[in-house]
Amino acid sequence: MYAILDIETTGGKYNEEGITEIAIYKFDGHKVVDQFISLINPERPIQPFVVGLTGINNEMLRNAPKFWEVAKRMIEITTDCTIVAHNAQFDYRILKLEFDRLGYDFQRKSLCSVELSKKLLPGQPSYSLGKLCRSLGIPMTDRHRANGDAMATVKLFKLLLSKDTEKTIIQEAVKLNPKRQMDTKLRDIIEELPSTCGVYYMHNANGKVIYIGKAKNIKKRINQHFTSDNRKSKQMQEDVEAVTYEETGSELIALLKENEEIKKNKPRHNRALRRTLFKSQLSTFMDDEGYVNLKIENTNSKKQSVTTFATSLSAKNHLEFIVEEYGLCQSKVGIHSTGGNCFNYTIKQCHGACIGKEDPMEYNQRVNQYINKHGFINKSMVIIDRGRDIDERSVVLIENGEFKGFGFYNLNFQLNNIEVLQNLITPMQDNRDARHIIQSYLRTRKVLKTIELEEINN
């Protein structure tokens, strides 16, 4: 749990400042579950330059509560929480200073979103809250007021959590949580999980990730893990101390995150995704007559392929679909291997490429239509799908045939700038498994839409 806050002060000499406004959002990693926002009477004058910056003046604070009047509420909302702030060293010092004046030893763990941004969003021209949010497409209101800046920090922190593929932030948070008794542990874990699509992480008592999985319904899937009596599930039930999760909205994003993070974190109870996900690939070659042929073959990392398949059976089924959908010749895709014309020519569903009757250029044009739709070679596009909320969309970025990563954007923000799009993206490894996941998903399921990058730049 996190207490994301922003504080406005009177300004003045070091350790003589007072709080004029504070906003605290209690954030569970997914949504705000509690909040406290208030002007504060600092019982000391505000520096003129601060009045000009924030618009808060002495008259506005005359009838505001004094710090000691709201101190109990601040303790309650931050208990068992990590303090998160943009430049946390300043905000935490000011908050602790006010409690010191009351004789109360206020101690909390803290995280600085500036430092996290430098680590997870390298190369930004500025890490000030306003400029960083602008470059990331995060909307801001009431700049230099506690409520507006704190809410912007919530949105920024949510983005940072999604970019933290090594799960260092969340593992530290799990360590701080109080440990539960074994007999109630599993039931309590399930109770706190959502019935939504996403990726889930099982942690041991030290916070270490011991299993990563994806699910259309996280609660249902975890319940299956905890009620199964096979040897692996029983061992996981003994080892697990907490389950955290990230909602993705899109199952494609969940599949990509699961693939990337299992390879990166190597959880002890994961096995399947350490191996290659596919066994067959579809490649092309030009025959002596000038026809582009399609060929299913075993996985070969040294050879460029159009697309990949989990099994040879799914590859064969897809070939039959291609023949029918694009009017291709059974001989030129390896289904018909004997001499003479193919069977489809006999029933007038093939134009005669098998016997040299169809012009190679006309035939190859249909083959290339298929390759352009299903292949990644030199392709640059974004795949738009559902997001985590009703006003959000997910986006997967492909540039020059390489998978770059994924991100989320608000529907109120126009996705018409490639630089902003690249800032939103959580970078991921462009490996054959990731490309297989994307190509297989696009073949078998529907996304909201795909857009060529040229359309965004224009």
Cα–Cα distance between 408 and 391 in angstroms, integer? 10
186 and 234 together in one domain = yes
pLDDT digits (tens, 9 = 90+) for 120-151: 888 888 889 988 888 888 888 887 788 899 99
Q: What is the DSSP string of 113-156?
A: HHHHHHHHSTT-S--SHHHHHHHHT----STTSHHHHHHHHHHH
For residue 251, pLDDT beyond 90 = yes
Asked whether the beta carbons of 26 and 37 are under 8 A apart, the reply is no
Q: Which one is predicted more confidently, 51 or 418?
A: 51
Asked whether the beta carbons of 351 and 357 are under 8 A apart, the reply is yes
Domain end among 348, 374, 400: 374
227 and 253 together in one domain = yes
Predicted local distance difference test score (pLDDT) of residue 290: 93
Predicted local distance difference test score (pLDDT) of residue 140: 81
Strand, helix or coil at 247? Answer: strand
Count Cβ neighbours within 10 Å for each residue of 285-323 and write b for 16 or more, e otherwise.
eeeeeebbbbebeebeeeeebbbbbeeeebbeebbeebb
Asked whether the beta carbons of 230 and 172 are under 8 A apart, the reply is no
Predicted local distance difference test score (pLDDT) of residue 197: 94
Q: Tokens 């002495």 appear where?
A: 58
Residue 458: band (very low, low, confident or very high) from pLDDT cuts 50, 70, 90: low
Of 37, 112, 33, nearest to 80 (Cα)?
A: 33
Residue 396: band (very low, low, confident or very high) from pLDDT cuts 50, 70, 90: very high
pTM for this one?
0.66
Q: Which one is predicted more confidently, 181 or 436?
A: 436
**Per the structure block, which two tokens stand in for 249?**
């909205």
Q: Which one is predicted more confidently, 277 or 307?
A: 307
Q: Tokens 């520096």 appear where?
A: 47
Domain end among 357, 374, 391: 374
294 and 208 together in one domain = no
Cα–Cα distance between 432 and 430 in angstroms, integer? 7
404 and 437 together in one domain = yes
Predicted local distance difference test score (pLDDT) of residue 171: 77
For residue 276, pLDDT beyond 90 = no
Q: What is the DSSP string of 371-420?
A: HHHH--TT--EEEEEE-SSTTEEEEEEEETTEEEEEEEEETTS----HHH
Predicted local distance difference test score (pLDDT) of residue 275: 56
Average pLDDT over residues 209-235: 88
Average pLDDT over residues 362-384: 86
Cα–Cα distance between 26 and 157 in angstroms, integer? 12
Cα–Cα distance between 407 and 138 in angstroms, integer? 13
Average pLDDT over residues 268-272: 78
Domain count, the chain: 4
Domain end among 316, 350, 374: 374
Q: Which one is predicted more confidently, 218 or 54?
A: 218
For residue 178, pLDDT beyond 80 = no
Predicted local distance difference test score (pLDDT) of residue 182: 45
80 and 103 together in one domain = yes
253 and 355 together in one domain = no
For residue 180, pLDDT beyond 60 = no
Predicted local distance difference test score (pLDDT) of residue 125: 86
7 and 147 together in one domain = yes
Average pLDDT over residues 413-429: 77
Longest dimension (CA), the chain: 97
225 and 140 together in one domain = no
Residue 169: band (very low, low, confident or very high) from pLDDT cuts 50, 70, 90: confident
Residue 293: band (very low, low, confident or very high) from pLDDT cuts 50, 70, 90: very high
12 and 156 together in one domain = yes
From the number of C-beta atoms within 10 Å of its C-beta (0-12, 13-18, 19+), residue 50 rates as: buried
137 and 186 together in one domain = no
Predicted local distance difference test score (pLDDT) of residue 27: 92
pLDDT digits (tens, 9 = 90+) for 334-356: 887 777 888 889 888 899 999 88
**Per the structure block, which two tokens stand in for 129?**
């809250």
Of 16, 24, 23, 22, nearest to 43 (Cα)?
A: 16
Between the alpha carbon of residue 50 and those of residues 12, 17, 45, 55, 244, the distances in Å are: 9, 12, 11, 8, 41
Determine the structural domain holding residue 226 and report its residue range.
168-274
Asked whether the beta carbons of 408 and 424 are under 8 A apart, the reply is yes
Of 40, 254, 271, 2, nearest to 146 (Cα)?
A: 40
**Per the structure block, which two tokens stand in for 58?**
């002495």
Mean pLDDT of all residues in the chain? Answer: 86
For residue 253, pLDDT beyond 50 = yes
Average pLDDT over residues 176-187: 62
Cα–Cα distance between 458 and 453 in angstroms, integer? 9
Cα–Cα distance between 360 and 158 in angstroms, integer? 53
Other Cβ atoms less than 10 A from the Cβ of 26: the count is 20
Of 396, 369, 410, nearest to 453 (Cα)?
A: 396
Of 116, 126, 39, nearest to 82 (Cα)?
A: 116
Average pLDDT over residues 235-253: 91
Task: Please give the helix or strand (H or E) that residue 110 lies within, else none.
Answer: strand 110-112
Cα–Cα distance between 441 and 303 in angstroms, integer? 22
369 and 416 together in one domain = no
Lowest mean pLDDT among 184-193, 253-262, 288-297, 362-371: 184-193
CATH value at residue 229: 3.40.1440.10
152 and 10 together in one domain = yes
